[in-house]
Structure 1
């Protein structure tokens, strides 16, 4: 282990340690994957002794939960507070704000790392998969679903099913935001793609829009 890194890690204030460990875990999970990461690697990246990790986290799985909580769940907490009720802004303005904010977050290294782990590895960790569905996917769908439901009630959106519509909106944001990170999308400005996604969603939700013949 790098003794200089270890010295720096030990000099950190105790209340900074959990975040220090989480940051190191996120980096190591991104490099080695969830299955391949070892607590020794995380301790080395954090510049601390391996035993220090056990003062805060009993195992790698619990550390992954904390990584998710401090990245994605923290963002959902903020979104839930902002979208708790209609307030002075209507459902359309709230949904637009969520989509733009979530778009920027999805493109961050933190989200991309966790998302790759979720898609590629969580099927091998059933307890973590259940945790992710409950604390991330389920909450995101409920938060956005309530906004869409208010829009339907107020006649701002056409009478869609909030649950299925939310799945489509969130999936569209994630897939398109991630696509903008790929080399094949280099010619497109990410902000333009984001605006296209927003325009597509609100066009589909407008009261006069319908796919079925004769509308709903």
Structure 2
């Protein structure tokens, strides 16, 4: 590192400015988490979040240029551990059947514990999708679909399972992971009283019914047909 950069890093004024920026960003994220979680997407304004965080609206927009981006950064930490776990499961050579089972159940617990925030995210995603008129652009850092890649962990696991032959190759990992996550988010909004266990059984039946139909029990009753072999 050049000497000028080192001196800048050691400058107390630079450190103080950086600390202030970090605190402001944290205050905005905390205020947004509370606001979106209590008032939802439509009734939450950037100006209200800024006021709760004790900063001006201009400062809030300087940190997060859109409400979509702010919500994406609020929700992002809930998804990141699931993606890390998917990479770890693949690296460890774990059965993708077990890994997908655990991943779906964990994702259902996350959306259940954060129901109002998840409903706000779903609304933000729908609004942004209509605005841009197409799929997510990886370079668009205002797009909540880019900031919160909920399907990514499932996409990784399903793709690996298809590569190893554990899962059928069709539908593709991209199609299946997107379909399942869209169904999860939709049910989170429309069926707020549904338990995460019930939601997980439905999603796993969809996944394995398409990619491993031998795991689905054929029954004449209305009980859930998905049962993983022990």
So what's the TM-score if we normalise by structure 1? 0.66
Shift of 1:143: 3.3
Of the three residues 68, 72, 75, the one matched with 1:68 is 72
- CA distance in 2 between counterparts of 1:29 and 1:122 reads 19
In the other structure, the counterpart of 1:213 is: none
In the other structure, the counterpart of 1:87 is: 92
1:4-153 superposed matches below 5 A: 16-28=23-35, 31=39, 33=41, 37-39=45-47, 41-46=48-53, 48-50=54-56, 54=59, 57-58=61-62, 61-62=65-66, 64-71=68-75, 73-84=76-87, 85-107=90-112, 108=114, 109-120=116-127, 123-124=130-131, 131-136=143-148, 139-153=149-163
- CA distance in 1 between counterparts of 2:95 and 2:64 reads 43
- CA distance in 2 between counterparts of 1:171 and 1:32 reads 19
What secondary structure sits across from 1:159 in the alignment? coil
Shift of 1:206: 0.8
Shift of 1:151: 1.1
| Structure showing the higher helix proportion among its residues | 1
So what's the TM-score if we normalise by structure 2? 0.63
Alpha-carbon distance change, 33 to 66 in structure 1, aligned in 2, over 3 angstroms:
closer
* Structure 2: gaps (5+ residues): 1-18, 216-230
* Structure 1: gaps (5+ residues): 1-12, 210-216
Question: Is contact 2:154–2:177 with CA below 8 Å preserved after alignment?
Answer: yes
Question: Is contact 2:118–2:188 with CA below 8 Å preserved after alignment?
Answer: no
Aligned pairs, number: 185
Question: Is contact 1:35–1:121 with CA below 8 Å preserved after alignment?
Answer: no
- CA distance in 1 between counterparts of 2:182 and 2:157 reads 16
